[in-house]
Structure 1
Amino acid sequence: MFKLRKGYLGYISANLFLILVCFIIITPLIWSVSTSFKSRSEVFAHNFTLIPKQVIWQNYVEIIKAAPFGQYLINTVLVVTGILILQLLLIIPAAYAFAKLEFPGKSFLFFIFIAQMLLPLQSIIVPNYLFLKNLGLINTRIALILPFAASGYGIFLIRQTFKQIPEALIDSARIDGCGDLRVIWHIMIPLAKPTITAFSLISIVIHWNDYFWPLIVTNTADVRTLAIGLGMFVQQESGADWPLLMAGTMFIVLPILLFFLCTQNVFINNLIKSGLKE
């Protein structure tokens, strides 16, 4: 009876701790949403209230009129999607080659790809910029996508998963007449789906919030992303106008948050299935 009671108290303590951590994490988001619906006078009032006394929808109307956040959102979705598609098209075959094929210089080439992970973007920004400038791609969406088409981290992550797939499955597929591309499509990708899903979410979040590179290669509003658009709006328009600033921030936060909420079941189910053996 004591063991049961002790275990029950531990269960309650763990859940209370998780609730506290979740509250700490979500508090800035709740504050931002609340501020985006407040009036300017209420934001600076001495008595802080989380729930607005009067919901001001006009803040969102004003932010849309003040800056083309709709265009920024479209640009961001196109850039993030383009980067992810190119990354998956390149890193999955590369990971398969490094995991299952034998060719001269394999270890050296893999080391070069991994070395990419050690280089910060700032260290290669000049050659990247000059390369795109010579191609006439500055201030285009392609310039935002192209430098991130290959991912050393993605190749390493998926390669490690591919190495765990038994060779017998691949040999069986080859006996049935499958080439490498069919092996990748019918065997490797389905079995590595949890890893690919995890990498996809990481890639989307990183490039959705990317600020430095888009700041360098974009000059006009028609190609700017949400992060740059919000930064330019803060510098040029809003100043200390916190309701408008938080309304603009929601254009960045809510789409990626809704995306995660809509895909979390797929993500969690893939992780659960990855731990099950047939």
Structure 2
Amino acid sequence: MSAFKSARRLSLPTTILRHAVLLCTGALILAPFVWMVSLSIKPASEIFRVSFSFWPERFYGIENYTKALTEVPLPRYMGNGVLVCAIILVLQILVCTPCAYVLAKLRFPGRDLLFSMVLIGLLLPHQVLSLPLFILSYQLDILNTYAALIFPYVISPFGIFLFRQFFKTIPDDVVHAARLDGLSELAIVWRIMLPMALPALIAFSIFSVVGHWNDLFWPLIAVRDQSLMPPPLGIMVFKNEEAGNDYGPLMAASTLVVMPLIIAFLAAQKWFVEGMTGGAVK
């Protein structure tokens, strides 16, 4: 009993320390976003002041956000982002789900080798593959098209890994029962496994959409036409040859671009956490 009481006494400082660390980390992460929103409602004369204030003396949000939406085709850029991210996500699910099912539930020679190749794919940053992907896109004559923004991301090693780990937690008896009912392997994937892996699907969807919505490196290489630019590349258009970047509208555009991601994550955070931790325990 004394040991239990001692553990309870020690738990309070530990809890306080843990929450303090989490609060400090959260504050450091949120600070750039708070600063971005603050700059988006300030006039240029207040942005470079030495003193800091979140709320401006002269509210300039309407002008900045109007300029962000009208000076450049920001809605078109965001529409491009929605289109590209949606197509990439659908194609990734169509490719990754059957691959993950094969690696999780079927036994065949070379399965472990294939999974090792997936893990190697996780270790390679996308920038390493940019040159061969650029040459391949040039040979396929898809540069400066939507296909150039979509093609390199159709296969996702992370998606295969995440779905495979989640499928491993589903009992084999479920698969055997589906086979006894006469379902084919593809039917088992789409009608049994994927609905049961909904948390993993939502978690992967968030990772995929956020990653490709914010991607700047590959679109900067693959497209030149402004009508094809995704949001991160599009907001770089806010340039002023005399004064440099127009920071007020630039921060307003950045806020508009980031806001859908924040809303989507807050709406799906429960399934996101469940999907990320579901494959950790078998």
Give the TM-score taking structure 1 as reference length: 0.87
Q: 2:45 corresponds to which residue?
A: 41
Q: How does 1:154-193 map to 2 (within 5 A)?
A: 154-193=159-198
Q: CA deviation at 1:112?
A: 3.7
Q: 1:27 corresponds to which residue?
A: 31
Distance change (3 Å), C-alpha of 1:111 and 1:16: closer
Paired with 2:14 and 2:171, the residues of 1 have a C-alpha distance of 40
Q: CA deviation at 1:23?
A: 1.9
Q: 1:243 corresponds to which residue?
A: 248
Q: Deviations over 1:134-172 (max 9, x none)?
A: 333221112101110011221122122223322211111
Distance change (3 Å), C-alpha of 1:45 and 1:275: closer
Paired with 2:190 and 2:261, the residues of 1 have a C-alpha distance of 28
Q: Deviations over 1:193-248 (max 9, x none)?
A: 22222222111111111111101111111100111112243486972432122112
Paired with 2:66 and 2:158, the residues of 1 have a C-alpha distance of 41
- 3-state SS of paired residue (2:50): coil
* Structure 2 unpaired stretches of 5+: none
- The residue type equivalent to 2:258 in the other structure is V
Q: CA deviation at 1:78?
A: 0.8
Paired with 1:5 and 1:97, the residues of 2 have a C-alpha distance of 50
Q: 2:146 corresponds to which residue?
A: 141
Asked whether the equivalents of residues 73 and 251 of structure 1 are also in contact (C-alpha less than 8 Å), the reply is no
Paired with 1:236 and 1:229, the residues of 2 have a C-alpha distance of 17
Paired with 2:14 and 2:105, the residues of 1 have a C-alpha distance of 46
Q: CA deviation at 1:271?
A: 6.4
Asked whether the equivalents of residues 226 and 251 of structure 1 are also in contact (C-alpha less than 8 Å), the reply is no
Paired with 2:208 and 2:223, the residues of 1 have a C-alpha distance of 21
Q: Deviations over 1:251-273 (max 9, x none)?
A: 32112112212222443466688
**Does 200-209 or 28-37 show the bigger shift?**
200-209
Q: 1:150 corresponds to which residue?
A: 155
- 3-state SS of paired residue (1:137): coil
Paired with 2:154 and 2:204, the residues of 1 have a C-alpha distance of 14
- 3-state SS of paired residue (2:226): coil
**Does 27-36 or 123-132 show the bigger shift?**
123-132
Paired with 1:106 and 1:6, the residues of 2 have a C-alpha distance of 48
- The residue type equivalent to 1:134 in the other structure is Q
Asked whether the equivalents of residues 99 and 160 of structure 1 are also in contact (C-alpha less than 8 Å), the reply is yes
Q: 1:87 corresponds to which residue?
A: 92
Distance change (3 Å), C-alpha of 1:10 and 1:97: closer
Q: How does 1:116-135 map to 2 (within 5 A)?
A: 116-135=121-140
1:206 aligns with one of 206, 211, 226 = 211
Q: 1:223 corresponds to which residue?
A: 228
Paired with 1:242 and 1:271, the residues of 2 have a C-alpha distance of 37
Q: 2:272 corresponds to which residue?
A: 267
Q: CA deviation at 1:192?
A: 2.3
Asked whether the equivalents of residues 69 and 251 of structure 1 are also in contact (C-alpha less than 8 Å), the reply is no
1:55 aligns with one of 41, 52, 59 = 59
* Structure 1 unpaired stretches of 5+: none
Q: Does 1:67 align with 2:79?
A: no
Paired with 1:169 and 1:61, the residues of 2 have a C-alpha distance of 55
**Does 261-270 or 34-43 show the bigger shift?**
261-270
Give the TM-score taking structure 2 as reference length: 0.86
Alpha-carbon RMSD? 2.8
Q: Deviations over 1:60-106 (max 9, x none)?
A: 11122221111110001111111111000000001111222244544
Q: Deviations over 1:26-52 (max 9, x none)?
A: 111111101110011111223321111
Paired with 1:274 and 1:161, the residues of 2 have a C-alpha distance of 4
1:255 aligns with one of 235, 243, 260 = 260
